[in-house]
A and B are shown apart, each in its own frame.
Chain A
Amino acid sequence: MGDSLITIIAIFLAAILMFIFPLMAMSERTDDVSQIAVQTATTEFTNNVRTTGKLTLEDYEKFISTIYSTGNTYDVQMQAQILDENPGVKTTQAETTKIGENVYYILYTTQIEERIANSKNDTLTLKEGDRFMVTVKNTNTTIAQTLRNFFYKLSGNDTYQIAAQHGGIVTVNGTN
């Protein structure tokens, strides 16, 4: 009786160790590799927009296809904060850097996509002083997440397995 109980436990442990553990470890690593790819692509894409002042459809599609090539689906959120200096120009003593004298208004992903689609050369042009940022999060449940949820469920808000964020000031006036 004692031996068979130990055997059952051993089989159970062996199953976990020989199948579940490697599977979890490998799926975690796959997500890590995806994380590297997504983080790199996001940084590159954002920096390219920041240093050229242009967001072209070609670059955007290339970025999307790079991140989707990791086998996951993503929610890509872009934000272009457009500097409007006009309120500051109303007074001669205005300072372009002073908070409150200028305003930023924000274009979100769908507005950006719409502007690119409506432009002559499939480009959104930004100017020096604008800000551009991109946030990428996975929307599917990866194998690692499924396995983790099987063993232990996190309570509260769900976390993202693959997420990348990058942004900064646009450094040059884009040209048409």
Chain B
Amino acid sequence: MDTISTDVVIIGAGGAGLRAAIALAETDPTLRIALISKVYPMRSHTCAAEGGAAGVIKSDDSFDLHFDDTVGGGDWLSDQDCVEYFIHEAPKELLQLEHWGCPWNREADGSVAVRPFGGMKKKRTWFAADKSGFHILHTLFQTSLQFPSIIRYDEYYALDLLVDDGRCQGVTALEMRSGELRQFHAKSVIIAGGGAGRMFPFSTNGAIKTGDGMAMAYRAGAPLKDMEFVQYHPTGLPNTGSLLTEACRGEGGILVNKNGRRFLQDYGMGPETPVGKPQLKTMELGPRDRVSQSIWHEIQKGNAVSTPWGECVLLDMRHLGEKYIDERLPLVRELCASYLQVDIVKDPVPIRPVVHYMMGGISTNTKAATPIPGLFAAGECACVSLNGANRLGSNSLVELLVFGRRAALSAIEHMQGLPAANTAALNARAEQTQVRIRELFSRTGGTESMSGLRKEMMDTMEKNAGIYRTEEGLQEGVSKIHELRQRYGKVILTDKSNVFNTDLFQMLELGSMLDCAEAVIVGALARKESRGAHQRLDYVDRDDKKFLCHTMVHYQGLDVPRVDYLDVVITKSPPGVRDYSGDHK
């Protein structure tokens, strides 16, 4: 097995991984940086983010307001020291991207334009039409090309962290095009592997979002935090699950039921505001958890439109007019036209809530450090506890940048004065990966089909861990996922080739998703309250006495994971009432 010795390994080359790589290269040009990704950087799922990125820039806005929106939006499960750090770094990072060439939309005077977004008291979302994530990703990728110290390992599938002497010192990875296993030895390791939304059948997430980074850290002993908080985006295309950005509503689109009646005012987000004049932080500009839950209730009431893909409500943008739609929401128009054959200029489009984002992830602190020394994490795979129980739209693109950079700085701090690596011990750990992969290839006589198992997992997650959850459903889900994890050991590979064997990668991805799925559902069962995106029909209220704390799920091999809790950091905002009514002061 070839060994690649380097200073820092970054796993994942999306927004967070690229930002970390650039920060490393800029801070110390002598550092050797290995950037590993299972896809070419431009394919990373950051590219699918549409709406924009939040940062205080305009004179009518303030850090305190961004703080309050984020903490309240997160139903007080955000760590407030983390939010404090984040809101101050956010505008700097967005300006940095501007200096690197990101094509942000502009005001007439040439300054950066901002748009309204859900749950935000002020307009503070920087945007590049409705392809903000795409432009952020490509700006970062293209900028990274000027640094010779960033060595990319594109289409390398990272497998296992090399932990020795109590600290993380590298990773094993398969070169996908040759099937050869490599080990990377490094002083610091940063995971930026993205979310795990593909464990659900109906998701905005791309095929690559299978929680590999989360599962890798989890197996190595880092706890997964707050995994039960899974964000449903209110407006997904009902057939493909493609995202219709929150900017649809930010720009003035409205949600109506089958009778053409707006309904969010019935769920604490009223009174109704005039059509085409969106008011911040109320009605259609409520937070995602509340809006998705309202749609669920509206469907329960029988007010939904029936479609071949299930019960939907309608997103109406007709009053915005063709010119404005083409300027601000061209991708949305194109997506609806091609995948649903609906022209949003002429007709309302049916939508339904769709799994979008994992608030939970690898437990990290404000320095992006995991409990394992030498291991750092940033982006959706991490839970630094910025987003709490519900992420506000347009905070995650900034999170990538702020904590991608922070992870890089922490990685450099960690390197100082490290003892020499025990290469023999690392080699021995890497050998264990080799054995694991060989076993997959040599396994015979299995009766399980991979696609069958994957479908069972997805169906279980949708049925038992969806928008609304119950004790009974979660109990059933826990045992089902536990059973699937046992059966996973009996799946056999159909394809035994070495070169670009996607059968193998799908199998490994399924393993990652099952690990993450178990953490989601075990955490959800244990949290006997309703908070943010975690809603229990049997515990309908928030319970700050018992559950103002982070769920920490610890890997226990094939056994059911262990759950314990960590206090939420409250600095200045005690838990209060989330008020999204328009008439509040």
- Decide whether A and B assemble into one complex: no
| B residues adjacent to A (C-beta < 8 A) | none
| A residues adjacent to B (C-beta < 8 A) | none
